[in-house]
Amino acid sequence: SAVAALVAPMAVGAKSQDYARHIELSLLFYEAQRSGKLPENNRIYWRHDSMLDAGADNKVDLTGGYYDAGDNVKFNFPQAAALTLLAWSGWYYADGYKEAGQWEYILDAVRWGADYFVKCHTGKNELYVQVGKGATDHGFWYPPEYIQYDHPSYKITASAPGSEVAGDTASFLAAASILFKEEDPSYSANLLKHAIEIYDFADAYRGEYIKAVPDAQGFYSNWSGYNDELAFGALWLYRATGESKYMDKFSKIADASYGEQDTKAYGTCTGPISWDDKRPGAYILAAIVTGDEKRKQQAYWYCDNVLTQPRTPGGLWYDSNLSKWASNRYASNAAAMLAMFANYLPKTDSKRSKYVDFVKKQTDYILGDNPMKINYVVGAEANSPKAVHHRAASGTYDSQDTNARPTDYNIFTLWGALAGGPGPKDEYTDSRKNYEMNEVALDYNAAFQTNLAFLVKEGYNKPDPDSVKVHDRSFPKKADTPDITVEVTDKTIEVSTGSNMMCSSWCVEFTTDYKIEAVHDCIMYQSGPDYIICNRRESNFLDGKGTPQVIKYQGSNGQGPLTIDESVVMCDGWHAPQSSHKPMYKPENGRKYKVVGSGGVGNTTPLFEQSECWPAFLCGGSTSPKTTTIKKTTTTTKKSDPTNSNSCFSVAQGYPCCGAGIPVSYEDDSGQWGIENGNWCGIAPIKESCGDYPCCTGCDVQYTDDKKWGVENNNWCLIKEDKCQGSSGTVTCTGQNLGYPCCDTCEAIYTDESGKWGIKNGDWCGLKSSC
C-alpha cells in the first residue's frame, strides 16, 4: 500500500524545503563570481572591481563575465554551459522565479554573462574563449582584486577553430534571447544576431578548441567531442528562430550512423548533462521543441535510465567515474533534465511523478536530508560548509594556500555556493584543501538552481523561518561593533579586534615625531611622520576575538617613548603577497576607523557612513538589478520575509502589476487592466492589509515574535488579533519542528511518541492539535 511504502516520519532528519530562499542564495553566489566593473548595487560587500584590463593584451575589451570557480580565470566553455542552464530555467520556470521574488535577479545574472559573451565576439569568425592562464593563476592564492600576474586572452578563429566552445556560446546567447524576448526585445534581437553568427562559425570551421588554446587542456578538455554542442546549439537556434535549417542540422547529427564502440555517438549517453557533454540536454530539448514521438521516446529512455543508476547509501545519485569530483553537481545535473522533461509532460503522464520525486529527493539531500545532516549550500545553515575552496572568500593570500590562516573557515561567507559534496558513502570533509568535496564553480550551482526554480513552480516550496540561521556572518552583513584596540609599549604596537569584528588584512596609520627606523613581521608602507604600517602575512589577520597582532619596531637612539594618542586602522583594502609582487594599498576596498587612545568599544569610530548592515542600500529594502524596489528577504531575522510577485492576475499572462493609483482602462474575465508607461498592467484587487504583509484568512499560528504569523499560499501573513480573539490561535501539529506539514484532515494512520500522523500529497503530515 501507499502507507507501507513510506518510511516512518521520525526516521527522517530535519531539512529545509525553502527552495525560494535557496534560489536567492544561489544568485548571490553568481554575483560573488563577477569580474570587471561591479555595479552600484553590488550586494557582495567584500567583492570589488577586478581585471579591468581584460583583453588589453589584444586591444579588445573583455571585461565582465564570471570567474570560473575559486580561481581568477574566465573559462568560457564551462561558463557558457552553466549560463545556458540558467537562461533555460529563466524561460522555462519563470513562474518559479517570480514566486520566489527572484525574477529581476535571474534576468540580471543572465544579462551579466550575455554582455560579456557579446564582447567576446569580436569578428564574424573570431571569438575570445578564455581570459587568464590557468597554469599561472593556480600558482597563486590571491583575490581577483589584487592579482598582478598576466592574464592573457585567447581566441578561436577560422584557422584555429573551437566548435564546442563556439557551439556552447551560441546555445547560451540563443537561450538568453528567448528569455529576454518579451522583457527587452531589442536586446533579445542583438543576442540572437550574435548567436546565429557564432553558430555558423562553429559549424563551418570545425575543430577542438584545446588545439587553439592549449592552456585549457589541463582544465576543460572536451572528452565528448563537439557534435553534442553543435546539436544542442542547433536546437536552441531552431527554438529561437523557427527556421527549419537548424532542425536539419540537428537531425543530421542526431540521426547519423555511429560505430558500436563510438563513445561520442549521439544517442548513447546515459550520464548527466555537464560542461562537457550536452547530449542529455539535446534529448530533452528536442522533445520539448518538436513534440515528435521519436524525440520524446529518446527523452523517456534517458530519464528512465537515470533512475536506475547507483546512489549513495543516503540516496544521492552517484556515478563512480564522475561524482568523485563534486557529487552534488552531478546529482543536480542528472535531476535537472528529468525536471525539464517533467515540466513538459502533462500531469497525467504516468512517469511524471517519478521524475519529479527524483528531482525533489536529490535537492532535499543537498539541503540537509542526508546522513551527515549537512546543508551543502554555503551560508544557508549553521552547519553549512565554511571552508570552501575559494580565493576571494578565504580572506587569505598566501601563495599556493600553504600557510593560509584561518584554515578551518573562510573569513568571508560565499553566500549560496554549492559545495562539491560527499563521497560514495555520504562522507564529507569541510576543508579548503579538499578540492573534490569542497570546490565551488559556476556549473555546480547552475543545475541545482534550475531544480530549485522547478520545485517552487511545482508548489513544493515551504517558507522556513529558521532555514537561514542567525549567525555573525549573515547576509546582508550586520554592521560590525567598532572594537579595535591599539596598545603601545617601548618595543611593540599591538593591534587587535573584538566583538567578532574580523579583518582579513589591516593597516594602522598614525602621525608622530617619533622616528621609527624599522619594523619586523610587518610592512612599513609609508614612513613618518605620517606612518602607515600593515600586516605582512595572512596569518596576522584580526580575528575579532582579541588576539593581538604585534608590530615590532625599532626607533632611533636618544628618543623618548613612542606614544599614539589617536590612530586610524583600515580593515581590508591591503594585500601583501609572499612573492616578488608588490604590496597593494587600496583604501577604496577597505573600511577605516578612528581609534582614540588604546581604543576598544566606545573609542572606535567608523570613518565612513556605517549603516545597520552592508551593503548599505540593502538595509532598508533591497534594490533590484534595475530600478525597482523589492522587499528584502534578509537572513538576519529569524523569520524570512515572504515575496509575492504574483499578487495580481496579470503576472501569469506576462504583464506586470500596475503601480498604485493607475486607473482602470479595460476589464475582461481575467480582471481589471490599466496602462502604465505605455504598457498594459494588471490592477490587483484591493485586499485587506495588515501593514507590509497580507492578513491571514485563518488563525493558525506558525511563528510568534512581537506579532503572530501564519503561512498561506507559501507566504507569510499576519494573524488578525480582533478576528482571532477567543481562540488561542496556536494550532500545533505533530512533527512541525521537523519541517512536516500539517494535515488537512484528522485521519490518523500512524502514531508514535511524538503524536499522530497522516498522509498529504504522498508524504507524511502531522495531525493538528485541534483534532
Please check whether residue 765 is in contact with residue 758, taking contact to mean a CB–CB distance below 8 angstroms: yes
Which of 466-480, 696-710, 757-771 shows the lowest mean pLDDT across its residues?
466-480
Q: 1-17 pLDDT, tens per residue?
A: 233 333 333 333 336 78
Which cell goes with 440?
A: 565551488
How much is the pLDDT for 223?
83
* DSSP line for 645-688: TTSSGGGGGT-PBPPTTPPP-EE-SS-EEEEETTEEEEEPPP--
- pLDDT of 633 > 50? The answer is no
Rounded CA gap, 674 and 666, in Å? Answer: 7
Q: Catalytic amino acids?
A: 71, 389, 430, 439
Rounded (5°) CA angle 539-544-550:
50
Q: Nearest-CA neighbor of 323 among 451, 429, 422?
A: 422
What's 170-238 look like in SS3?
Answer: HHHHHHHHHHCCCCCHHHHHHHHHHHHHHHHHHHHCCCCHHHHCHHHHHHHCCCCCCHHHHHHHHHHHH
Pairing mode of beta strands 484-488, 604-606 = unpaired
Please check whether residue 461 is in contact with residue 20, taking contact to mean a CB–CB distance below 8 angstroms: yes
Q: Which amino acid is at 202?
A: A
Rounded CA gap, 723 and 703, in Å? Answer: 18
Q: 137-168 pLDDT, tens per residue?
A: 988 888 999 999 999 999 999 999 999 999 99
DSSP 8-state assignment for residue 716: E
- Which strands make up the sheet holding 715-718, listed edge to edge? 703-704, 708-712, 715-718
- pLDDT of 259 > 80? The answer is no
Which cell goes with 533?
A: 604600517
Q: Nearest-CA neighbor of 576 among 151, 142, 45?
A: 142
* DSSP line for 9-68: GGGSPP----HHHHHHHHHHHHHHTB-BS--TT---TT---B-TTTTGGGT-----SB--
Give me the mean pLDDT over the 370-382 stretch: 93
Residue 653: pLDDT band with limits 50, 70, 90: low
- Residue with more model confidence, 409 or 81: 81
Please check whether residue 271 is in contact with residue 280, taking contact to mean a CB–CB distance below 8 angstroms: yes
How much is the pLDDT for 652?
64
How much is the pLDDT for 472?
40
Rounded CA gap, 659 and 210, in Å? Answer: 52
DSSP 8-state assignment for residue 123: B
Please check whether residue 521 is in contact with residue 534, taking contact to mean a CB–CB distance below 8 angstroms: no
Give me the domains of the chain, ranges plus CATH numbers. 9-457 (1.50.10.10), 480-610 (2.60.40.290), 694-766 (3.90.1220.10)
Rounded CA gap, 295 and 755, in Å? Answer: 49
Give me the mean pLDDT over the 639-647 stretch: 38
Element (DSSP H or E) covering residue 519: strand 516-520
How much is the pLDDT for 43?
92
Rounded CA gap, 297 and 320, in Å? Answer: 27
Q: Give CA 303 to chain center in angstroms.
A: 26
Arithmetic mean of pLDDT over the chain: 86
Q: 32-73 pLDDT, tens per residue?
A: 999 999 999 899 999 999 999 999 999 999 999 999 999 999
My answer on whether omega of the bond before 606 falls inside 30° of 0, hence cis, is: no
- Residue with more model confidence, 462 or 715: 462
Rounded CA gap, 668 and 150, in Å? Answer: 62
How much is the pLDDT for 703?
65
- pLDDT of 640 > 50? The answer is no
Rounded CA gap, 206 and 237, in Å? Answer: 18
Q: 67-116 pLDDT, tens per residue?
A: 999 999 999 999 999 999 999 999 999 999 999 999 999 999 999 999 99
